[in-house]
Amino acid sequence: MPRALSEQETDAFRERLCDAAARLYVDEGPGAVTLRRLAAELGVGTMTPYRYFANKEAIITAVRTRGMHRLCEAMERALHSPGDGRSRSRAVRDAYIAFARANTAAYRLMFEYPEANRDDPDYREAHQRMWRNIAAHVEVMIAEGKVVADPAILGHQIWASLHGAVMLEIAGLLPEGYDAASLHTRTVSALFETAQPQR
């Protein structure tokens, strides 16, 4: 009889499953993600993945959910760094880019593919947390009187330009001499110009 896994071991195996699923999904397409293929990738018995996830959709939803929570954790830590609103906003941007670079497959799966169980309560919680983070650094700048804007709208404008820059960097399509951060800096400067308080 196999030894029962500890909670830490169970979570670690779920993590390995999610990492493998994200890599296969992005590299080979949705059809490559089957529980049988994942078992082979991880060198475990064919039925082992079923002990952790009911089906492929549950794994993809878990990848997106875990990814969003981890990205939010990184952004929240950055937002609480020292400095004024603009410097903290840059710290959030840098944390976002660092996450995308370190977790490229999961990042692409989170935002490039729509497949997920959006009714899953954990996924909904992660999605709402992401929306809060999109506005949070803008709210800091509004409180300081640096910008006048709807935080959700300006936050999404900043996010859209950041996500675009990140995806272009991942694809190797940025102009020579630019990375995601430097391109985003130029774009967001124009956004902030339009949100300056009237003197």
pLDDT, tens only, 158-186: 999 999 999 999 999 999 999 999 999 99
pLDDT of residue 1: 43
* Average pLDDT, integer, range 139-151: 94
Cα separation, 49 vs 42, in Å, equals 10
In a domain, 116, yes or no: yes
In a domain, 1, yes or no: no
Residue 145 contacts residue 199 (beta carbons within 8 Å): no
Look at residue 124 and give its three-state secondary structure.
helix
In a domain, 2, yes or no: no
Rg of the chain on CA atoms, in Å: 19
Domain span holding position 85 = 7-194
Q: In the predicted model, is pLDDT for residue 3 greater than 70?
A: no
* Average pLDDT, integer, range 100-123: 87
In a domain, 48, yes or no: yes
Query: Domain with 161 in it: what CATH number?
Result: 1.10.357.10
User: How many domains is the chain partitioned into structurally?
Assistant: 1
In a domain, 199, yes or no: no
Query: Whole-prediction pTM value?
Result: 0.90
In a domain, 21, yes or no: yes
Residue 93 contacts residue 163 (beta carbons within 8 Å): no
